[in-house]
Amino acid sequence: MAGPYKLSDLQVFERAARAPSLSAAARQLQITPAAVSAVVKRLEQALGATLFERSARMLRLTAGGEAFLRACDTALEALAEGEASVRQGQREVGGVVHLAAPSDLARTVLNELLPRFLARHPQLRIVLHASDALHDLPRDAVDLALRYGTLEDSGLVARLLVETQRLACASPDYLRRRGVPQHPAELARHDCLLFQVGGRLDAVWRFERDGEAVDVEVGGPLAADDSALARQWAVEGRGIVCKSDIDLAADIRQGRLVPLLPEWRSTRVPLHAVHAGGRRLPQRVRALLDFLVAELDQFRSS
């Protein structure tokens, strides 16, 4: 990239371009807002162009700013990979990966997998964003996100990791107290633990058997915007939860939860890894993605 640019200036601009404000970028970079503003001004003077449209409520890239951001992305990623190759050899990767994942998946599956990945790549560091909210990957500076369900056309690049199967489960204690449901319709009389999916409570559970489909409207005294909390409530005997088998595997294996309605199948839910389109995937992110693809293969249905 031609021009009298400092590497640190390009790094500051890249973060400012993806943050909701210069102040937010400054907090992420642990420098002052005035320092971020000075970098932007210096780059604009060097380029002879305006990079941001500014108002009291909004900071937005101009067309020139978007073009410069693409060039910065390419330059910074190439430099990072070149440094890793020189310092650590072709087999080693280093740097920081920001990974976003649903809260329960982060606390169960990823909590076991990520230490193994880091043991293979000691020069890497992972920042895990565990939340059921959907991150805006460019704005939140997230490199890779794991998402359940059908993906909207958002300009993101998606890779299917595994097709999961939702299971209705309850603790042995709950089933002793309330009985074991034999038909999906009976769930309407039980305490069902709800959590938000895509910003709405998942209060209708679907089950299928031999071509017959049953939709059951369920409810109970507890609901949450955190799916990990709903699973924990089920383990504590507070009701029935219906979640992806990948999230429930450890609790089922250790007897904390019991699968219900074995003759019925609930909804299948794909789990994807997504990243921003239009950019070459950095080596550190590619290494994590390939690892997750290989490790999650154990959850594929036969």
**Residue-range domain boundaries for the chain:** 7-88, 95-162+270-299, 164-268
302 pLDDT tier (thresholds 50, 70, 90): very low
Region of poorest pLDDT, from 6-15, 66-75, 178-187, 226-235 = 66-75
pTM: 0.67
Structure tokens at 90: 């072709």
- Specify which of 22-31, 79-88, 208-217 reaches the highest per-range mean pLDDT: 208-217
| Amino acid 110: pLDDT | 94
Average the pLDDT over 286-291 and give the result: 93
Residue 14 has pLDDT above 60, yes or no: yes
Domains 95-162+270-299 and 164-268 share a fold: yes
- Fold adopted by 164-268: D-Maltodextrin-Binding Protein; domain 2 (3.40.190)
CATH of domain 95-162+270-299: 3.40.190.10
Residue 57 has pLDDT above 90, yes or no: no
Average the pLDDT over 133-144 and give the result: 81
pLDDT tens digits, one per residue of 252-267: 999 999 999 999 999 8
Q: Which CATH architecture has domain 7-88?
A: Orthogonal Bundle (1.10)
86 pLDDT tier (thresholds 50, 70, 90): low
234 pLDDT tier (thresholds 50, 70, 90): very high
4 pLDDT tier (thresholds 50, 70, 90): low
